[in-house]
Every structure is written in structure tokens, then in C-alpha cells.
Amino acid sequence: MSAMCSMKIGNKPACGCSHRYCKPAMISEFDPVETRLENGFSVIEASAGTGKTATISAIVLRLIAEQKIEIENILVATYTELATAELRGRIREVLAEARACARGGKAKWSFIDAIIARIADRKEVERELERALHNFDEAPIFTIHGFCARVLADRAFEAGALFGTELVTDQSRFLNQVADDFWRAHLYGDDKVLAALLRERLFPARLVELLIELTNNPALRVLPPPENQAELKKNIAEVWRTLCDCWSKSAQEIRGLFSNIAWAKGNHFKREVVDARLAAAVECIGESRNAGDLLSCVEFFSAATLQANTRVRGITPRHEFFDRCQELSDVARRFVVSFQSEFCQWAREELRRRKADEQVRSFDDLLTRLDEALRRDDQLRNGLRERFRVALIDEFQDTDPVQYSILAQIYAGTNARVFLIGDPKQAIYGFRGADVFAYLEAAKLADRRYTLGKNWRSERKLVDGVGEIFRQRDDGFVIPGINLVLVQASGSTDEAPLTIDGQRDQPLRFWIASPEQKGNIPRVVAAEIARLLVAKTTIGAEKIRPSEIAVLVMTNAETADIQKALSQFRIPSVVYSAASVFESREAEELLRLLLAVAEPTREKIVRAALATELADFKASELEKLFGDDSRREEMLNRFAGYQELWRDKGFIEMMRKFVVEEKVRPRLLAYTDGERRLTNLLHLVEVLHAACVENRFGIDGVIGWLTKQISERREIRDEYELRLESDENAVRIVTIHKSKGLEYDITLCPSVRKEPYRARDLVKFHDGDALVLDLEEKAENEKLRDREELAELVRQLYVGTTRARHRSYLVWPDRPTKSKSALAWLLSSTASAEAFLEKKGEPDTGLSVRDTFAGSDAIAVEDLPEAGGEILAQSPATQIPLAPRIFTGKIDRSWRISSFSSLISGRTEEPETPDYDAAGAEVETAEEAAVAAEGIHAFPGGMRAGTCLHLILEELDFTDLSQLRPLVTRKLADFRFENFDDAVCEMLEKTLRMPLGEDGFRLSEISRASRLSELEFTFPITALTTSRLRKVFQIDELPLAIDRLQFAPANGFMKGFIDLVFERAGRFYFVDWKSNWLGTDASSYVPQKVGAEMTRNFYNLQLTIYTVALHRYLQQRLRGYDYEKNFGGAFYIFLRGIDSRKPSNGIFFARPPHKFVQQLNEVFHGNAPARN
């Protein structure tokens, strides 16, 4: 944290310097009952199983009971919603137990009794605890992001936060837009040679990867700085010309140099490979065609490649052509690096600007905005310190520099108490931006450092066995400052030990697998689980259950093999994985299905859909089906019917019908992993439906979105993670990352041989405390990257070996090849991690494991067993009775979400979407009549046209009409409206320049900062009936055909979308855009006809609902709001009727009387309107 050098944590400068105060504090054991809770920063290292949650709860209890600090002033923060819920529940339970103890009872946990016993005045402590429980809902127990969001909301003025910003969980749309736009702006239209050279290394998806790294790591430093791109392009062109000249002059000579390849080693220059490359050179360089292989061809013939593949005594071929290939390869690489570096410089700020323009923010923005606000505002820092007098930060090893900076900004250099609780040995979320170096910096600079000394999770011998593995090296965790802390087993788990047939043996078991057994490991794991379930395996007196066993895997890819093996033994299992549902087989199959629905006349695509497991046609069945003309026609018509349903009723209705009509549920559930398959399919349908609603997708939009989700690397949102099947009494299959914080009675790790290097990884490493990304991928920096990845693999191994309470299995390969895995490192005698990685690790031999742990009474080493075992019969206790549950309750059908659409349709379920005008028979009439019209009156009518115009107006900057035509052209193309660019541009320009209101202002004067588009509202309603609405409208004699309005009584909420809200001169107005087609010329939009249209479609009712919504919104958001002074009115603008020669055409304006708005508001609250 060198950037924080001016701050102080406790009495120490936070600079990482050699100042005498910067020496790490002495480490002592923390006793939750006895240790003094002193001012300053305290770091508590909580090794696996040492009671971290209980410790946090004990500290909170002591702060309340001993020091009279109110629960509202104690900040508790952690890193996930699940952990937050667990902490909140545990702290509440501890406080309730303590209150009972203060009243004379005995608490569930002994530490509570000990804390309460130290307090003399039991009545007073009872009152303090009673108050804490009474106010517990106000307890600031948050995720880190939740804390930032609360501060930005509560102290928006001091923090400089914008009102009305939307928190988005998925910013991939912005990431892709930024990457695509930069790529197009800098490479689109460049010559074929440059494009071919860069295709393999430079593409928008690669830029998205970089941008994800930048958003995950806001403090990331990127190397090297960009070069002059124009100069590099020029160099590439010059070298390319030289290379082509050289080939044209010397092609035969160059071929001759490869007539004898005895000089080459390995397989890189095998005869067939050389011949293929020479043929490619003829096409790519000699004939300048088929440029797709250009870069690989140039690199193959580069001088460095030839040298690297020459035998020890071989003579490397020499030629000017090879030097030119090397030169072109080098300059192309420099261009790629420079291009990416320039993108990184530009993209950070551009991403931020685009999100600000659309008034959205991501979780990462919460952190950076609060950090920036704290840096500039003393009042904000002081206010937060006063509000949160004590802070406890859980899982602090998963912090990052920005989060640490926020804490330091608030508390550094003060007497506040801050407890940082975590375990650097369990820091395994580097891929999410967590930075263990931030933890180490905090630990180095803390006033006090503690450890927790007792393991409450595992049997004594299992604790000893884990210690034996990680004590093999003093530098086992690679990074200085991360060390194995010796802990003692509490003995509580040994009171009910695990026994098999009444016997206890070594609880940590290594299985040594020969190379031939590698493919059989999943089945052996399943067989052992079956053996444990069939044998007399007990914990205390209780028989082991499947749900108490977990298989811990290193990667998501391993889960399918394990689940398949378990199903072969009829062992139920459930997968806990951080994988995206878009990585599943079902995502690919659903895409094939949707493509067939989109194009039902293309037989090949329909065949592909029918071949999926969703339809499950065999090849022979498909041949019969498509060989019979009548059956073929019937099937194609069926898919055409699904397409029609999708267009008419939407994606979700089409999928519902498909699943029922095609019997998808029983078909999928017939598979052994059928529950998993069905869960994935239903999850995908739900996610796609949400995307349809959010983005207003049509058929092509849905397919394009799903294709992108499957093919591109994206941030995995929580809602996209694979969901659980039924997890009742099933073996857990869990990735190491998902298992952190969890515990199981028995764990099996079928693979602990994961290596740190992956060829396409970014080269990230730490330079001091700063995280650096090296785009040049220098060899020395790759070594630093590999060292840090090795360290993380050791931490993953630690997490995996510490999840078990009673028994743990580790599978280790017995093979002579070298391995850079975590266990190979721990068992290595190599002097340092650098030397270990330099020599590419150690051989994976079972001998090293056997020798190391020979004679251990905690660790057993044995050969991988045979994959025998009994297939489990489903016991009566686990059989599911196939009877439906009987519902005996009563459904209140009046409680629903209502909308203007549902009120006028009379239906109780009418989804409220942005109002994009009528569809149906009237549209057909309009479209027929429009053929004879001209200009904008010839533009088609209906919902599609309305959607198109609304989106243009939503995206358009009214004050900058220079962007109007390109925006209109793009949107009309998206919606397949041809030859209307001029008409639409003219109409919209007239609309924005038309004088409005008494003082004649124009919409073209309204900036983005003064407007909100598509403002969604929801407000409560009670006992809303037709008669009550009729009364309030009759009292005020507003023009509304109210007698035609019929709907069922409604309770719940009123929901809607206002097209545009804007502010001008302190008054707020709203606009509803109407694209309704009323006739073939301007005379159809005179005030009388527009008024009739307003009455006929109940738009006056819509206007008053929107007025009440905006009135309520302004009451909450605008200090000193007054309807008469601040509410300007409503414009209903019929876009086709706007005529600069007739200003009254196409515009309906209304400003309902304040009294009427108050009465209507009362009606929505369930009160009868008062008579005048």
C-alpha cells in the first residue's frame, strides 16, 4: 500500500518502509473471553476450523455487554451474502443466549457463560442485550459491497453520489461495447495483411478479458506503456514488402534449405509439417491469399523458431527470409502489446463514462466511488467513524487494495477499534480480484496480531495429519508472511469419532494411482463411498449418510465424471459449482432448439434440434421422419407454430408449450443425471426470459444473446451459476473454491495434481505490493507469475485438506513425469520455489509420499483400490412417495401487481411493459392504409414501430442532433425498416424543436442530466375498484369514458414506465411518446382527433396514474416539493402528427388539478374520494 504512505494505521506509517514502527507486531493467541479489546488495528489469523464465526460473535457480545457499545455502532462486514446471513444469524443467536444466561439460564456455548459471569450487574447487562436484540434489524452487518452501497445512499451528498443510479450485477454489455468500439475504431478497415497478422492474438474477446481484469483490480498497473500505433503499422507494411520481395526472389532456395531436416529436433519440423508450412507460405506470402495462416506461417519460419528447434550439434538453416520473418513477427507482437496497452489506458475511463451516462453502477463502482469520496472529504470520514465506532471485517484474506484503502481512510490514525479476521492460507479468490498481499500489508502494519489456537472442527489425528503435510517445508506457502500456524485439536470431535466396523484408523489417506488407473479414479471414488455407506460406518452412534460426504474437485470439468460414477452405484449426488449454466450441455442444446424455432423451414437446422436430448430423436428415427413427406411437413409446421407462439405471446409461453407438448420433463428425468439436466434447462429458460424482459429482445435478440453467453468469457453473475438439484441426503460434489468455509464429515479429493502454468494466462504478478500486468510477457515476469500461482495452489490444497471433520482421502499419481503441483512442491527438497519451477518441478512418484509419511499414525499411504463396491439399493426411507401435496390455504386473488394495461384490459394478469402502442387488427388496417400515404405517415404502425421510435428517443441526446441520423439509421436497420431514414429524422427533429408550454421551451434544450428515460415506478394500492375510480373522475368531470372501464378489485402494487421525465426551471414534466397511426396526413392529428384518441384508449387514465407516480416520487426526492410550484404537467406527443406549421397538431397537454391528484392518491390508498 505504498500509495497510502501518508496514512497511519495505529501508530505506524502505512508505507511498507523500514521505519522502526513498521516491524510486524508480535503474534499471540487470541482468547475470545479474556483478551483485551484494545484500540487500533488488530489482525486475527483464524486457521481452518478454529471457530472464526464464534470469535466474531464473542467480540460483538463483549462490546455490547462489557463496554456498552450499541449494536448500531458495530460494523460487521464479510464477503458474500451467504456468509453475511450466517453471521447475522449466529450473532443474534449468541445475544439471545447471553440474555437468557443473564437471567440465570445456561447458554448453548460455554464462552457465553464465561463472558456473562465476569459482569457484576446482571440486570444492566440484560437491559443492554434486550436493547441490542430489539434493535437488531438495524445492526450494520453487511457484505463489503453492501456497506459501500449503504454509505453512498445514506450520505450521497458528501460522497458525491448521483441519485437514481441503478446497481447492475452484470456489466458485460458495457464491457463488450467498450471493447468492440475500440477495436472497430482502431482496426476496422485496415488492410488484410495487418488483420491476418493480428487475428490470432487480437480480437474483441481478448480486450474484454483485459477489461475484466481492470475492473476486478482497479489498482492494476499495466506494462509497458503504448507505442505510436501509426509508426508500428508503417513498420509492419515495410517489413511485409521486404519479406514478399525476399520470397519472390528466393522461394526455390528457401525450399531447398528444408530438403534435409536432419538438423531439427522433436516433432515441430517433421517432414509433413514442413511441407504444409511451405505450401502455406506459397499461398500467404507468394500469392497473398488465404491470409488466415499468415502469423503462424511467419512465426514458423522465424530465425528464433528455427534456432530453438535445432539439435545440439545441428546446423540451423540461415537465410535473409528467416530474418525478415523474425522481424515481422517481432513488430507484429509489439503492435499487439501496444494496442492492448492503449486500450487499457482508454477503457477504464470510457467504461466509467458510459455507465455514468446511463446512470448505472456495478459492485466494483461502489468500492471505487466510496474510496474516492473518502479521500477528498474529511466530513464523510469523521461521520462514518462516529457512526461505526468498531469494525469487524471477516474473511479479510479476500480483501483487495481498494477495500483496504476504504478501511484505512476511515480508521487509520485514530483510536477506533478495528478487527481484521481472516486466514491468508485460505486466500484462493485471486481470480475475482482478491489480493492476499493487501492482507499481508495490513498484518505487517497492524498494532496487534493474534491467532486462534484450537481447531474445533476435526478429529485430533486429522489435525495432526494436515500439519504433517504442510510442515514439510518452512517456506511451504511460498510467499513470506504466510506460514502454517500450529493449532491443537479441541478434542470435541473425538467424543463422537468415525469408526468403520467398530475400528478407527488413520483419518488422512493417500491413494497412489498408477498411470493406467487415471481414467478409473472417479469410479474408485464412487466405490469407496458405496463401501462406506454399506459398511458399518458410524460417527458416534449414528450411521453415516450420503449428505455428510463431499467429493472436492479442482475444476468444474471434473464434476460430470464424478457424478456419473456415483450414479452407476445409485448414490444420489448434488453439484455445488461456480460454473456458469451457459457452460452446460443444455445451453448448447437449447440454442439449437431456438435456432430451429427461428428458422422452421430449414430442414437441416430442425434436424439438429430434434437430435438433441430435449427431443431425443435417434438417427434412424430422423431418417424415417424426413423420408416421409407428410410427417416431415407436419414436423416443420409444428416448429413454425412454436415460432408463431413466440412472436405472439413471447419466449416464455413458447418454451412452456414446448416442454409440455414435447414431453421434455419425463424425457430428461429418465437419464441417471436427469434432475441435473432438467434443473439446467429450467434455469436457462428463466434467465433468457429475464433477458427478454430487460432488453426487449425479439427472436434474433434472444439467440444472439445466448450465443454470446455461451461463446465469450464473461463475469459469472450469481444468477448464472449452476443451481442445485434436490440436495436432500445426497453426496456433495464441490469445487475447492466453493467448499471454502464449509465442512463435511468425510471428504475425497480425486485430483491434487494441478499445475500453475496455463499457456494463455495473463502475466500478472506483484511488484512489492502493487499488482502488475505485463502485456509483453517477459520471461522474468512469467516466473514471478508462476511463483504466485504455485502459492495459490498450495493454499487451495490447504483448503481442500481442512474441510473434513473425520476422514479425508487424497489421490496422488505415481508417474515419472515432473509436476509443478502443490504437493510435489511441499515434498520437494529443492532450495526455493524459483528453483523448483525452473527445473519444472519434481516427479510425481508414490515413493516420495510413502517415504515421507511412513510410520505416521495420522496418515496412511496405499495403492488406489480396485473399483469394486456394492450398488446401493434405494431404501424405503429414501423413496419419494409420488403423491401431490394438498393445498388447504386460501389464495387472495385480489393481491397482484396491477398496471394501466391490466386495468383497461380487465385482466388480472397483464404484464406491464413500456407502452409502445397498439397491435392487432388496428395495426393491419394502419399498415394497409399507410401504403397510400407519404413521408412519416407511410411508416408502418404497431408495436414494432413504436419500440423502434421509443428506443431512438431513449438513446438520443436531445441537445446534439448531429447524432440523430446515424442513430436512426442503425435502429431502423435493427428493426428492418427500410427507406424511412429521412422521414423519421425529419419527424424527430421537428418534435425536438417544437415549442412547448406557455413559454415555448423546446425538448432540444433538455440535457441528459435533466431527464430520465423509461422511469419505472411501483407504488402500493389498496382496495382499488372501478366504482371508486369512477367517482373521483366524475367529481372532477375529467374526459374519460369511465363507464367502459371494468376490472376486478385490486390490492398490491401499481406498476408502470414513464417514457420521459424532465426538469426545466424548477418544474418537472413527463412525456408519453405515441406513435399511433391515426391517418394518412397531418389533418388526422388535429387537437379534436388527438383528444378523441386519448379518450378512446383511456390515455387520460394513464396520464393521471403517471401523475400520481411522479407526484409521489418528487415528494420523496425533492426537498420543499410543492405540486403547484414544481409539477409542470404532462405532454402526450403523437409523433406522426407534429407539424411546425400547425403547433397544436399532435400534442395533448394536461396538468390535473392538485386536489384531483390528492383525491386519486387517496383512492389508491383505499379511501373513498371526498366530494367537493
**pLDDT tens track for 356-374:** 888 888 888 888 889 999 9
Is the per-residue pLDDT at 869 higher than 90?
no
3-class DSSP assignment, residue 425: helix
Round to whole Å and give the CA distance between 549 and 531: 12
Segment 119-124 mean pLDDT: 92
CA–CA gap between residue 942 and residue 432 (Å, rounded): 46
- Using the predicted structure, report yes or no on whether residue 610 has a pLDDT greater than 50: yes
If DSSP codes are grouped into helix, strand and coil, which group holds residue 389? Answer: coil
Residue 977, pLDDT above cutoff 90:
no
Quickly tell me which residue has 504442510 as its cell. Answer: 470
pLDDT tops 80 at residue 2? no
DSSP SS3 for 721: strand
Amino acid 55: pLDDT = 97
Per-residue pLDDT tens digits for 1093-1149: 998 888 999 999 999 999 999 998 888 999 999 999 999 999 999 998 888 999 999
Rounded to whole angstroms, how far apart are CA atoms 1031 and 1156? 11
835 pLDDT more than 50: yes
pLDDT at 93 over 80: yes
Cell of 117: 459471569
Nearest Cα neighbor of 769 from 119, 39, 221 is 221
Backbone angles phi, psi at 1010, to 5 degrees: -105, 15
DSSP string, 976-1031: T--S-HHHHHHHHHHHHHS-BTTTTB-GGG--GGGEEEEEEEEEEEEEE-HHHHHH
Question: Is the pLDDT at 886 greater than 80, yes or no?
Answer: no
**Quick check: 301 and 246 in contact, CB under 8 A?**
no
What sign does the CA torsion over 743, 744, 745, 748 have? Answer: negative
Average pLDDT over residues 280-308: 82
Q: Which of 27-41, 158-172, 221-235, 600-614 has the lowest mean pLDDT?
A: 158-172
Question: Can you read off the three cell numbers belonging to residue 350?
Answer: 470510457
Is 60 exceeded by the pLDDT of residue 588?
yes
Region class of 557: left (phi > 0), else alpha (psi between -120 and 50), else beta: alpha
Give the number of other CB atoms < 10 A from CB of residue 979.
9
Domains and CATH numbers, the chain: 2-51+59-81+140-161+363-452 (3.40.50.300), 172-360 (1.10.3170), 488-577+727-766+778-863 (3.40.50.300), 581-713 (1.10.486.10), 895-1164 (3.90.320.10)
Q: What is the pLDDT of residues 99-114, one digit of tens each?
A: 999 999 898 899 999 9
Look at residue 759 in the predicted model and tell me its pLDDT: 42
Phi, psi of 799 (to 5 degrees): -60, -45
Q: Answer positive or negative: Cα dihedral of 338, 341, 343, 346.
A: negative
Cβ atoms of 821 and 755 closer than 8 Å: yes
Among the listed residues 946, 927, 923, 947, the one whose alpha carbon sits nearest the alpha carbon of residue 937? 927
Tell me: the pLDDT tens digits for 173-223? 899 899 989 988 887 666 777 777 777 677 888 899 999 999 988 889 999
Known catalytic residues are 1072
Element (H, E) at 390: strand 390-393
Q: What share of the chain is helix, strand, coil (3-state, %, to 5)?
A: 50, 15, 35
840 compared with 44, residue with greater pLDDT: 44
Upper half-sphere CA count for residue 796 (Cβ side, 13 Å): 28
Element (H, E) at 346: helix 320-357
- Reported as a single tens digit per residue, the pLDDT across 234-281 is 999 999 999 999 999 999 999 999 999 999 998 889 999 999 989 888
d(CA 497, CA 509): 16
Q: Return left, alpha or beta for 121; rule: phi > 0 is left, psi -120 to 50 is alpha, else beta.
A: beta
- In the predicted model, what is the mean pLDDT of the chain? 86
State the cell numbers at 825.
512442491
- pLDDT, greater one: 232 or 887: 232
